[in-house]
A and B are shown apart, each in its own frame.
Chain A
Amino acid sequence: RKEVEQDPGPFNVPEGATVAFNCTYSNSASQSFFWYRQDCRKEPKLLMSVYSSGNEDGRFTAQLNRASQYISLLIRDSKLSDSATYLCVVSQGSARQLTFGSGTQLTVLP
């Protein structure tokens, strides 16, 4: 079983749609959680950290359920520019390095 598993995708949605990505992680000792975005042939960039209380940044909402070891990302009113691969990322505090899911590809269609 992979340490971090994501929806296989790809997701093709029309502009303005709401889309949700899910992710599960296997290591219960995981302490930090993130969503990164990666555009084609570019490096990953942090989209947002994920906190236990849930957090929102504009059209993006992230949720964490530690009991179920589950992370989600909700994108509302999707834009063409949201088209990218979204990476679920987990860190064990003592290990420092990030463990990446394989990513979910999103294409927002006009």
Chain B
Amino acid sequence: GAGVSQSPSNKVTEKGKDVELRCDPISGHTALYWYRQSLGQGLEFLIYFQGNSAPDKSGLPSDRFSAERTGGSVSTLTIQRTQQEDSAVYLCASSLGYGGETQYFGPGTRLLVL
């Protein structure tokens, strides 16, 4: 079946602009996660959605970052007033839910802020 998909694959933007990154999880997966990976760094957790529960936003680095998940499926990560340090690969993952299960990652969106 289809895996996790993300769009766009690559995004180049100017400092100060807003960007929206999209994630389509695997059908039937109730849990959705956003991570980011900066060049040469490990993955950093950003936000987690589980079903209809309030999201765990504890990993968001600043209030310029926000995410929503509509209808329990597609998620959008929004970065407002982008900064050069926001340049990274933004990875989305999904799992069946309830912790501990395998997370399947999408191919990521490579964001470059000039």
**A binding-site residues for B, Cβ under 8 Å:** 4, 31-32, 34, 42-46, 49, 87, 91, 93-103
Within 8 A of A (CB), among B16-45: 31, 33, 35, 41-45
From B98, which residue of chain A is reached at the shortest CB distance? A96
* Chain B: number of interface residues, binned into ranges: 20 to 34
Assess the B105–A43 pair: CB atoms within 8 A. yes
Known: A43-B91, A43-B108. A98 touches B41 (CB 8 A): no
A-B contact count (CB 8 A): 55
The answer on a CB contact under 8 Å between B99 and A98 is no
B42 touches A103 (CB 8 A): yes
Whether, in the assembled complex, B66 has its beta carbon less than 8 Å from a beta carbon of chain A, the answer is: no
Min CB distance, B95 to chain A, in Å? 8
Residues of A with C-beta under 8 A to B42: 4, 87, 100-103
Q: A31-B100, A97-B48 are in contact. List 8 more A-B contacts (CB 8 A).
A: A31-B99, A42-B107, A43-B105, A43-B108, A96-B33, A98-B45, A99-B45, A103-B42
